[in-house]
Amino acid sequence: MNYYDLSKLRLFVESVFTKMGIENEEAILATEVLIKAELRNIPSHGIIRLPDYVRLWQAGRINANPQIKIIKETHTTALIDADKAAGLVVGPKAMKLAIKKAQEYSSGWVCVNNSNHYGIAGYYAMMALEHNMIGISLTNANASVAPTFSVERLLGTNPIAIAIPTDKQPAFVLDMATSPVARGKLTVMEKKGERCPHGWIQDKDGNATDNPSIIRDGGSLVPLGSDNTHASYKGYGLAAVVDVLSGVLSGANYSKWVPPIVSYLPLLANAPGLGTGHFFGAMRIDAFRDAEEFKKEMDNFIQTFRDSKTSAESDAVLIPGDPERIAEEKFSKIGIPKIDAVDKELRELAEILHLDFSL
């Protein structure tokens, strides 16, 4: 396995965003979101997305110099029009606003419309941790998931992220798609020439398959739970709730109208809203109880699971956020793993944009 030097990769990603015309400070923020995905071993939302962002920008679907504005606001809530900004640009701003409102009024809730793909949901939820707050981040995504009993793609993988601070234990960080796998992970499998487990996707007729390319031939992801027998209606319900909070509530698009992350797919006619939608929340713990006491109880809560008897399948019970935290500790030291097919695309992108790719 070969690895990218972290500092060099960060500079390259930043140079791509700058080449798109994104202002320096915002390019740095966007870079941090992408690099965090790589560090936390979520490459489906990392540098693999750079060529897609550039093509969306070239197609006029990402605005490099947006006029991001608050269009409705109360003490504890806000609605932001992102003006077709990269989600990686508006996302940090929206979460900062939610945190600011929570600092003043105990909780803050911010919806965003007219946006684009924003990377990993967990990045934004984790922003609340240093403020002794619980952070929440949701987003809808272009339709790749068929509801239970359907073969039509009507929902995105619509992730949910909740970050909860602790005392001595690592923070509790849930960052999950509402499908068995994120759409981008199928893309990574395609590029690696791998097959996927049964129970993740179905073909255009609703038959289970292990071909990660089947989405291109009319297939779809299934909701979390895989099928009705295994409670896929619960994953379907979760995905629908995320779509309502991110899309319907914000005035963004929802269901099949959420804009695709790839520029070669057209936008559907009769769209009910504007762009992609996000939902951010921050809750101050001391609005409910003493924050330090809460964090100590969270330690005890987590330790209860760590001390539990394990099955033969594993020698430890993991807490949400453990795999990503362990990966981040590792990759911060050795660099970011290279995927050959992605590396090739980045080199081609560097040539097109006349950028140095000496990584």
pLDDT on residue 191: 84
Distance of alpha carbon 67 from alpha carbon 233, whole angstroms? 39
Residue-number span of the structural domain to which 20 is assigned? 3-291
DSSP state of 245: I
Of 317, 308, 286, 322, residue with least CA distance to 172: 322
Beta-carbon count within 10 A of 11 CB: 14
Identity of residue 66: P
- Sign (positive or negative) of CA dihedral 119, 252, 58, 213: positive
Does residue 357 lie within any of the structural domains? no
Q: Looking at the domain assignment, is residue 160 inside a domain?
A: yes
In the sheet that holds 208-209, the strands lie side by side as: 208-209, 201-202, 220-221
pTM here is 0.95
* Residue 162, token pair as written in the block: 């909740």
Q: Scanning the structure block, which residue is given the tokens 């292990």? A: 210
Structural domain count, the chain: 1
> Is 359 a residue whose pLDDT tops 90?
no
Examine residue 334 and state whether it is found in any structural domain, yes or no.
no
Q: Is 297 inside a domain boundary?
A: no
pLDDT, tens digit, 9 for 90 and up, residues 152-183: 999 999 999 999 999 999 999 999 999 998 88
Distances (CA, A) of 126 to 15, 28, 69, 187: 25, 18, 24, 26
Q: What integer is the mean pLDDT of 91-120? A: 98
pLDDT on residue 286: 98
In this structure, is residue 301 part of a structural domain?
Answer: no
The per-residue pLDDT for range 296-329, each reduced to its tens digit, is 999 999 999 999 999 988 999 999 999 999 999 9
Residue at 133 is within a domain: yes
Q: How far is CA 182 from CA 156, 158, 220, 240, 347, in A?
A: 9, 9, 12, 16, 25
Residue 320 lies in a domain: no
| Domain CATH for 139 | 3.30.1370.60
Q: Is 58 part of any domain?
A: yes
Report the mean per-residue pLDDT for the chain. Answer: 96
